[in-house]
Amino acid sequence: MNCKQAKALLSAAVDGELSLTEQRDFEEHINKCPDCFQEFREAQKTKNIIREKIIRFKAPESLVNSVIKLTETTVT
């Protein structure tokens, strides 16, 4: 794997969405390439910061029911 290929897989790697083969090849590359390793680590840090900063809330029951009703009328 080269740097271009590794960068194309970066987002999927951070999200844990690579196949076993892709994961193996990606890890092999970043273990040998300091630039790609650094970019991968920065992407992981960014994802973690975003996850920590997101305020999670429960949607009001009325909104949930409205969305369900809308999808039922749209689908049928």
pLDDT digits (tens, 9 = 90+) for 22-41: 999 999 999 999 999 999 99
Domain span including residue 31: 3-75
**Full-model pTM:** 0.68
pLDDT confidence tier of residue 58, bands split at 50, 70 and 90: confident
- What total number of domains does the chain contain? 1
DSSP of 5-60: HHHHHHHHHHTT---HHHHHHHHHHHHH-HHHHHHHHHHHHHHHHHHHHPPP-PPP
